[in-house]
Amino acid sequence: HSCGVYMLLAIKHNADRFVESVQLGNIVEERKWLLCEDVMCDFNEARESVKALMSSLGRVPTEVVYCVNVFL
């Protein structure tokens, strides 16, 4: 199953409270973290394909290196 529907419902339900109570630090790092967490999630049906793609790349983008260091 895709978590997208549940995620969007949770965002819509909690967005106002979240924005009022959470202070983001470095938005670039937060964005990287969210991307990596989503891409490398155990529930992502394409996770193995993503890992195979990452290992086949000659030059690996910084965001991918970050994902590998954090999640693998």
Judge whether 14 lies within some domain: no
pTM confidence score: 0.45
Judge whether 3 lies within some domain: no
pLDDT tens across 2-11, in order?
A: 678 888 888 8
Judge whether 5 lies within some domain: no
Judge whether 67 lies within some domain: yes
Tokens (6 digits) for 3: 């978590």
Judge whether 30 lies within some domain: yes
| Residue that has been written with the tokens 């670039």 in this structure | 28
Judge whether 32 lies within some domain: yes
| Count of alpha carbons within 13 angstroms of residue 59, beta-carbon side | 0
Tokens (6 digits) for 65: 């290196």
pLDDT tens across 43-71, in order?
A: 888 888 877 877 777 665 666 666 666 65
Judge whether 6 lies within some domain: no
How many domains would you assign to the chain?
1
Domain hosting residue 68, numbered range: 24-72
